[in-house]
Every structure is written in structure tokens, then in C-alpha cells.
Structure 1
Amino acid sequence: MKKIRVLHFVTGGFSGATSVAVDIITGHQAYSDIESLLVLRQKKTTTSEKLASLEKKGINYQLVINSPHFATSKQLQQIIKEWQPDILVSHGFPEHIIGRAAGKKANVPHMVQVEHNSKERYTFIKLWQTRHLSQFTDSVVAVSKGVAQVLNKQQLKAPIIAIANGIDPKRFDSEPMPISSRNKDIIMVARFAKSKDHATLIEALNLLKQKNITPTLTLVGSGKTSYQNLANNLVKKYGLSEQVTLINHSNEIPQLLERHKIFVMSSRFEGLNLSVIEAMAAGCLVIGSDAVGVNELIEHKKDGLVFSIGDAQTLANQLESVLTNPLNFETMTIEARQKVLSYYTKSRMLKDYYDVFTEIMNR
């Protein structure tokens, strides 16, 4: 049986896009008719430790220069000519432009764009490029329905489909502890960035403190120093240091989630937030902002709660309701976990991508 050779091109920053590409490649190792190559656009965060983790997973990978873009493209073209992929999958912005431009020059038979975010820095030129390249693209994959709606406005010539990212539910207890029995209160797992808006959550915590409600808050994630400093300064300003714990990195995210009652995601924009999905799988009561990539995961008052972007007062009120009467929200956590098991598993995501690849080859 001839294998389908799939080359995934993605940032080497080991962001969410990189993680999804790695998950697809790792999962497709179990498929007898798929052979994968990962090409990373090297960044400062492309460390030897992270590359070693790819080797441990048995992933075949190569690196290309970060900039200038023409040099990145030239190196990628050479890899394409040597490896001869059937399908080039370019993940994220601007990699999907750089990758498909290189693929077109190197005569790759089929190309796929994967868009991981709902808000990117599209200049007039970049938008023209992605429209132009779409006529040489077999499929455009959006990681959520919200991202698909954004892409529909770009007037692309390739068909757009939504394939939601997925998680491995086996990482979490099959019967999570009820939130009323958990000893920690609130957690947010997110890198410090403009899109995540930790400030609104800290503002909500301060509003609760003014009512003599002082829950614990755990913030897990690294990111830009400027946004970390902003969060730290707000914590100090409101005298919340005894309530707030900051963890730069953890290899025990499932265990942390399973010890907390409430998970908050106060994003301003997303692609599809995997941390929300993981929190649902861990049995947390999830409260999320009405942002693309978050709001479609939560059905308000059925399997979680939703608040308007940047609305600290509503968030504070919701936190108070859950903290004072956690038993009233147990049913929501059960509904949320069931949703994840039904729609947001890694196995479902892998099959969806496999179906796209085989459909393209059989077209």
C-alpha cells in the first residue's frame, strides 16, 4: 500500500498551533497509510529540550530559518523537493502563507491551510496573498466554527471546513471529584498575552474582596513579560498576594484542574481554547468570556457560564454564585464533561484530518 506523505509546516515557537500539528503527526503514526514530516520555522523558543521531546515521540522533523521569509521559503522548497510530499499542511499565520507559496513553487500536488486563530495581523498584502494562494489550496481547515466564520469573510476560493481541536480524556479521572469537595477555588491556565486578559479576572477577584469573599486563585502559564508584570502589579495594587498563586509551568495540569472548583477563561479572542476543554474534562465549573473560540464551547447555564468580554462585574457575580452554592452547579460540570467526551477528543480530531487527507487523494 502506497503511503500518503504529509508534510506539516508550522511555527517552531511550540504554541498551540505547534501542539496541534504534533498531535496530528503523533496520532497518525498509528495509521498504516500515512507518513508524516514536521518542518518547524525556528524561533528563540525552539529549544533543544523541546526538540528532544519530538524525538522521544518518534517524530521526523526538520528546521528552517525564521527570517527573512524568502530564505525560509527557499529552505522549505528544498525540503519539499527532497521529501516529495503528496500533501503540504501549513498551520497558522503567517506560516500558511509562507508554506503554500513555497509549496506552489515546489509543485506540491495538494495543499491544506489550517487556521488556528480568529484574529491575526492581516495587512492588505497578506490578505491578497492568502486569497491568491487559496485557488491552489484543496481545503482550508478552521479549528472552530467561529474561526470558520472569520475565514468566510476573506473571500477564499478553497472550501472551508471546521475541525475542532481535541484532547486525550484518559489524562483525567474517569469520575472527577464533585466541585463542592475540592479544596482550591479558581484556576486559569493560559499564557500571558494580550488575547488572554488576565486583568479582568484579577479585577473580579478584587470586587469579591470588597464583599469579604476571598477565594484562592491559581494562574498557570508563561508568556510575555509585560503582561506578566501587568498581572503582578494588579495583584499587588489590590492586596491579593495572599490569595493568588502564579505558576510559570506545570507538567501536572490535569491534577491541578481536578483540585479546583472553577476554571475561568477571560479571553478577548481565540481559535479554539484547549484549556477550556481540558477543564471541562476535569470536572471544573467553567466560566468563559463571550469570545470566538470560547463561547462555542459553553452553553450558558447548561454546561457552564458565559460573561461579556472585559466585564469584571458580571464575572465576579458568577464566581460568587458558584463559590457560595457549588452544589447548584454540579449538573453543569457533568454536562460539560459529557460534551467533551462526545465532541472534543483527540481520536475524533485525528480521524477528521485523516478523512480530509484521504478525500483529497481520492478526489
Structure 2
Amino acid sequence: MKILHITDAASGGVLTSLTALARNQAAHPEVSAVGVRYTPRADSPSRNHIAAGLGPMVDLHCWSPGPGSTVLTLIKGIIRELREDWDLIHLHSSRAGFLGRILALAVPSHAHLVYSPHGFSFNQTGYPQFQLRIFKLLERIALLGSRDLALVSPGEAELAAEVLPGVRTAILANAVDPELFAPKDSPGLTSRPPAPLSVIQVGRIMSQKRPELFAEVARLAEIRYPGSFTFTWIGEGERNLLSACPEISITGWITGEEIRSHLSNAALMLFTSAGEGMPMSLLEAASAGVPTVGSDVIGVRDLIDHRVDGMLFRTADEAVDALFTLTDADIRSSMAAAARRRVLLKHNESTLASNSLQVYRKFMTPASVAESAAVSNAGSRAS
């Protein structure tokens, strides 16, 4: 099978997810070629950095010399690839997903199209309601080009079935290399100093991640339990959104190796996002034996079994209470070990390529409505 991945979101969790998928597919004996095409964002790593992550077996092309590329650049690139001899084109992120499927209506193509939004745009925060309705309408229109969605979590699949009539879904859960993010010692190190505990978040500082909530939790935690925690945001973006708590450390963009170093020294992750597909940073933390206190939203609750391998919250006060609960070293250690087990069993890169090929084949085989439902149900059970 010849597989091409296209994205205009070459940064953050989308890039991490796509990189793992393409790299593992390229090593699979049933795959003869894998390509990645992208347009960069302002926070995208260099082409050389992306190429190093993908490995030498993936054919990588950047369609723009730098960030700020026009929609026309993306359109021209997609049209070229639709005319090439790919068996399957996997579109990642909302803009590439919309353009790719709409263009497929006009451009003859041998390729089967599959789309992964990595978090639907109409489920985002920070946009006015009329704009969210437009995003939803565009997703429905794009179904004319392809209604096959490879979604990264059961919550995302449920949302798609509810909002997008006629959609066919399968779960292709994100995965990590559990050895790369293995804890240096046993998960949830009881030998770590009891206070202060290092609490981290990983990602772009943007409204969707609700940094204001992160800052509010940090502020309340210091008031109620002074000296018990330190808070660090690993990433870059709109720093003013964290201004409610000046004591929060901000690393800026750092390398993957540096992120792993922070994870190895962290006690907890505080994940305040308003909605996700399936956050890679949460998976990486779980693999490193760092339990998460996460917002009770799509994508996050798909990865946290409350009070088993992490804790969910709805308000800042609940988040502070959860952090305090996890100051107990035994509870923290138990949840850390359970989070690591979840990654080993359900989100291990070793099965990512074979899982993706199974999803692709089911989509590429003519299916009745009942068979389409079976694809979705089988994926949900697998996750």
C-alpha cells in the first residue's frame, strides 16, 4: 500500500501523532511507500527536525519555504498529490481535511481519502458561536468528498456521529514509544521530595488549552497549600494568558529530549484543555509515570479513569483538591503505575501501523451501513 499524509498543522500534538504514524507505517512490510506533505506554522520545527523524527524511509516535502503560506499553496499541493499514484491519502487537521475532500470532488484520483481532525474545529473554544456553526457546516459539506474519519478517541467518534450525518468512523488511537518515555525508576517515585511537587503542562499557550484556568488553579493552590507545588508550562504562546499567577515558570519551545527531562522530574501533569482529540502530551506523561489531573472533556476523559490512573475535574477548586489528594505518595505512585500500564496495553507504537492498516482496509472495502457501524464499534472496543 502507498500512503500519503497531508497536514497544514505541522506543530504540536498533530505533528507528533502524524510523525509516529508515518514512521511506523514506513517500517511495515505491507507498506511500499509513505509520504508526508505539509505547510509550516510559525511554531513548526525545522524541516530537518521533522525529517529526523520521520526517519529515512518517509518521503517528506514542505510545500512552503516558511510560515504564513497561503491557502492557494495548500490547494496546489493537494491537487498535485490527488493525481499521483497513492492508494490512500490521510488528511490531518481541519483545513487540510476540508480542502482535500472538496478538491477530490473535482480532481480524478486513484486514492481513497481518510480524514483525522485531531480535535474538531467546531468543538474549540475562543471562537464566537456563529463561527463555530460555520465550522460545523464546512465539516458537513466536506463529507461529500469523503465520509471516512479515522478518529483518535471514542469521545471524538461519538461527537462525529452526533453532529455529522452519514459519517463513517473508526478509532485509530494515538500512541507513543513507551521505551522512549519510560520512567527512570519506578513510576510515581515515592523517593521524590514530598514538597514542593512539580506540576507541569505541555503545549502551546493558547485559549483552547485554557491557560487562564491553569493559572487560576496554580494561584488557588498556593493560597490553600503554600509551598506544596511548583507550576511549569512547557511551551510557548500567549504568555499574558498565564498572568494571574506570575510564579508559573514558562520554558518556551524546547527539544523533545528536554521535554522528556522535564517529565522525568515531574510529579504531576495539570491538563486544563477545553477539548481534544487525544492529547499526545498526556500520553507521554502517562508513559513516563506522571499521573494527570485533567479537565473532564472529550479526549481527556478518554485517557483518564478517574481515581484509577489520574483524576478529572470541572472547576478550579476541584483541580486544587485533586492535586492535594495526589500529594499522598502512595496514591500518586498507584495512579502513575496504572497510567503507565494503560499506555503499554492500549497506546503502544508497536501496534500503530497494523492498527492503521486495518482501519484503512475497512474504509476501502465497499461496506453496507451495518458494516460501517461495525467498524466504529470495533474501534471503540479497541480503545
Q: What TM-score range do you get, normalising by the shorter chain?
A: 0.7 to 0.9
Instruction: Report the count of equivalent residues.
Output: 347
Contact 1:179/1:285, CA 8 A, preserved across alignment: no
Contact 1:114/1:141, CA 8 A, preserved across alignment: yes
Amino acid at match of 2:86: P
Ranked by relative contact order (alpha carbons within 8 Å, sequence separation 6 or more), the top structure is 2
Aligned to 2:371: none
Question: Within 1, Cα distance between the matches of 2:86 and 2:249?
Answer: 47
Root mean square deviation, CA, Å: 2.6
Aligned to 1:78: 80
Question: Within 1, Cα distance between the matches of 2:357 and 2:184?
Answer: 27
* Structure 1 residue 145, shift from structure 2 partner: 1.1
CA deviations on 1:116-173 (whole Å, 9 max, x unpaired) are 0042576656544433442442621111111112211233434111221011101113
Q: Greater shift after overlay, 273-282 or 118-127?
A: 118-127
* Structure 1 residue 292, shift from structure 2 partner: 1.1
Q: Greater shift after overlay, 41-50 or 155-164?
A: 41-50
* Structure 1 residue 361, shift from structure 2 partner: 4.8
Q: Greater shift after overlay, 95-104 or 203-212?
A: 203-212
Output the TM-score relative to the length of structure 2. Answer: 0.81
Superposition pairs of residues 1-363 of structure 1, within 5 angstroms? 4-34=1-31, 35-46=33-44, 47-53=46-52, 57-64=56-63, 68-81=70-83, 83-109=84-110, 110-118=112-120, 119-120=123-124, 127-137=136-146, 139-171=148-180, 172-173=182-183, 175-183=185-193, 184-224=197-237, 227-231=238-242, 233-236=243-246, 240=247, 244-248=248-252, 249-250=254-255, 251-308=257-314, 311-323=315-327, 325-361=328-364, 363=366
Contact 1:281/1:340, CA 8 A, preserved across alignment: yes
Question: Within 2, Cα distance between the matches of 1:111 and 1:314?
Answer: 42
Question: Within 1, Cα distance between the matches of 2:298 and 2:186?
Answer: 28
Contact 1:307/1:315, CA 8 A, preserved across alignment: yes
CA deviations on 1:56-109 (whole Å, 9 max, x unpaired) are 54421223356543553233212332x321111111101101112233333223
Contact 2:271/2:293, CA 8 A, preserved across alignment: yes
Question: Within 2, Cα distance between the matches of 1:136 and 1:316?
Answer: 46
**Identity score, percent:** 19
Partner SS, residue 183 of structure 2: coil
* Unmatched runs of 5 consecutive residues or more in structure 1: none
* Structure 1 residue 347, shift from structure 2 partner: 2.4
Contact 1:77/1:105, CA 8 A, preserved across alignment: no
Question: Within 2, Cα distance between the matches of 1:55 and 1:344?
Answer: 19
Output the TM-score relative to the length of structure 1. Answer: 0.85
Amino acid at match of 2:285: A
Amino acid at match of 1:179: L
